Amino acid sequence: VKARGAVRQADYFKPNWMMVRGSVVIGGPNALEGRIVDVILVAPAVAPLAPASVNASRPPFPAGTRFLRIIATNDFHGALEPRPDANGVRRGGAAYVAAAIDRARAECAPRCETLLLDAGDMFQGTPASNLAYGRPVVEYYNRMGYAAAALGNHEFDWGTDSLRARMRQAKYGIFGANVRYTDGRDVKWIRNDTIVKRGATRIGIIGVSTVSTPTSTRAGDVVGLRFDDPAPIVDSIGTALRKRGANFVVVIAHAGASCGRDGATDCGGEIIDFARKLTTKVDAIVSGHTHTLVNTEVKGIPVVQARSSGRAIDVLDLPIGRSTGLPVRHQVRELAADTIQPVPAIDSIVRRAVARVSSLVDRHVATIPATLPRQGPQYPLGNLIADAQRWAGKGDVAIMNNGGIRTELRAGDATYGSLFEIQPFGNTLYALTMTGSQLRGLLEAMLARNSVDDHVSGLTIKYDPTRPKGARIVSVTMVDNSPLSDTKTYDVIVNDFLATGGEGYNAGGRATVSKPLNIVDLDALIDYLKTLPQPITAPAEVRIAPILP
């Protein structure tokens, strides 16, 4: 106050609401939550799903063996309703995941004790969840009896006030043992671990977050926080949990891996490196973040991940007591549409959440003649989104990170809701004024990765991936067929995630001027699609093309 002479609202308050077109009013996470008007109640059309097992890695236990059954999910991303996969098979949906969980609980009784866990990124991704700041997901998790969840990078997407509101609502702990303030102090409101009892068995649970959170989340959402190497932290906490009487120590980690098609071989990534570095005994690791099938072992520790969005669940069986000499059984069960029936209590939660936003999400935007998948590094949907951002920002070039394209665009009626699920983060656009030389440096930073992970508009790039990093560009051709000029000035449109350091490109830091446009990426896409001839044909050309010598 002494420095400014006045207090500005922006100094102490981060808005936790958003403006949308239409008559739906969406509340924030605190005292003003929940008033929604002009809503049409529509029950979602859903198909029954049932689980199928994948990668069961051990034979059944001998008769009479007592064991702890861990059932786990990860990266639910607000997927309250089922969604069709590339083959048209419905996957996910809270009421159906709940049925699979209940089945896994019931099938081993009375020989087992069960524990339900989640590896993070619970809320972010669909209108029914996002427009209520994750409240329906926590209601669902509470009803199912989750014991603990890891703190995912996208848990920070609505700011720490919203996150702390969800933590207060949750009847389960949300853990991030490796999250610290940048000065090294412990973050008191983020818990590290817990011990829960199942029967006579005590299970220590440690939650950790990916160290990439600062570059996989908007910088402003995690300002003041750091995400340390979790291995030495887990070593220390795991030892302490054993001394406190834990019979098992389980890590729930929002950090992932990529494996071969079977999920068991050729595995690599953050969670694999983490497991290799551990020196204390850990009985199981439930992972997330990479949305992949993981069902492997590292140094004798089972490591699992059940894809994302409720498409599968993990089931791990750990022998108890005198049976501890037996190997752990672990599997990932895919959920596919057949005979399983939804859990009515969870279906009721879903129906209410969907009804609250239906008058907004059902609005027609465009017509799509064929499904636009999100496959590989370059695809027409990504080109379409990049074009929309260049158009909305009136720029010469646009760059869109693939991580911000969350799902495919299905054929038929493209609604506000289906487009929201593609771009759910509410990113806003920036105009970066850059010289051609600065732009070239940004493009080289993009190409320094092992694979291309962006789409562009307004130019095409040819590059040689065998060249040293920083010197891979062969040519850059602008939309008017002129070459990129190092001395000219260009307006480059990016989202705020990239503008503030996301992906490690330092896009905003390279620019002469970085200007916020106050245009939401979703609005840019919707408005652009409305200008195009219907049905829409997405541009299919490869704009970032490798040239091998």
- pLDDT the model gives residue 338: 60
Burial class (CB in 10 A: 0-12, 13-18, 19+), 273: middle
How far apart (Å, rounded) are the C-alpha atoms in residues 532 and 3?
A: 51
Model-level pTM? 0.85
Are β-strands 173-175 and 179-181 bridged in parallel, bridged antiparallel, or unpaired?
unpaired
- pLDDT the model gives residue 58: 63
- pLDDT the model gives residue 204: 99
- pLDDT the model gives residue 337: 53
Torsion over CA: 87, 419, 75, 445 (sign):
positive
Taking the CA atoms of residue 166, residue 169, residue 173 and residue 176 in that order, the dihedral angle to the nearest 10 degrees is: 20
How far apart (Å, rounded) are the C-alpha atoms in residues 18 and 25?
A: 9
What single string gives the DSSP state of each residue in 119-130?
-S--STTSHHHH
Q: Residue 136: enclosing H or E segment and its boundaries?
A: helix 135-144
Phi (first) and psi of residue 136, to 5 degrees:
-65, -30
DSSP at 224: T
- pLDDT the model gives residue 166: 98
- pLDDT the model gives residue 325: 78
- pLDDT the model gives residue 37: 29
Instruction: Print pLDDT tens along the chain (549 aa).
Output: 344 444 444 444 444 455 554 434 344 433 333 332 222 222 233 333 333 333 344 678 888 889 999 999 999 999 999 998 878 888 999 999 999 999 999 999 899 999 999 999 999 999 999 999 999 999 999 999 999 999 999 999 999 999 999 999 999 999 999 999 999 999 999 999 999 999 999 999 999 999 999 999 988 899 999 999 999 999 999 999 999 999 999 999 999 999 999 999 999 999 999 999 999 999 999 999 999 999 999 999 999 999 999 999 999 999 998 666 788 999 999 987 566 899 999 999 999 999 999 999 999 999 999 999 998 899 999 999 999 999 999 999 999 999 999 999 999 999 999 999 999 999 999 999 999 999 999 999 999 988 899 999 999 999 999 999 999 999 999 999 999 999 999 999 999 999 999 898 889 999 999 999 999 999 999 999 999 999 999 999 999 999 987
Domains, in order of start, for the chain: 11-59+66-353 (3.60.21.10), 363-546 (3.90.780.10)
**Among residues 433, 365, 427, which one has the least CA distance to residue 394?**
433
Q: Cβ atoms within 10 A of the Cβ of 82, count?
A: 28
Q: What angle do CA 526, 528, 499 make, to 5 degrees?
A: 85
- pLDDT the model gives residue 457: 98
Q: Name the 3-class secondary structure at 483.
A: strand
Q: What is the CA radius of gyration of the chain?
A: 24
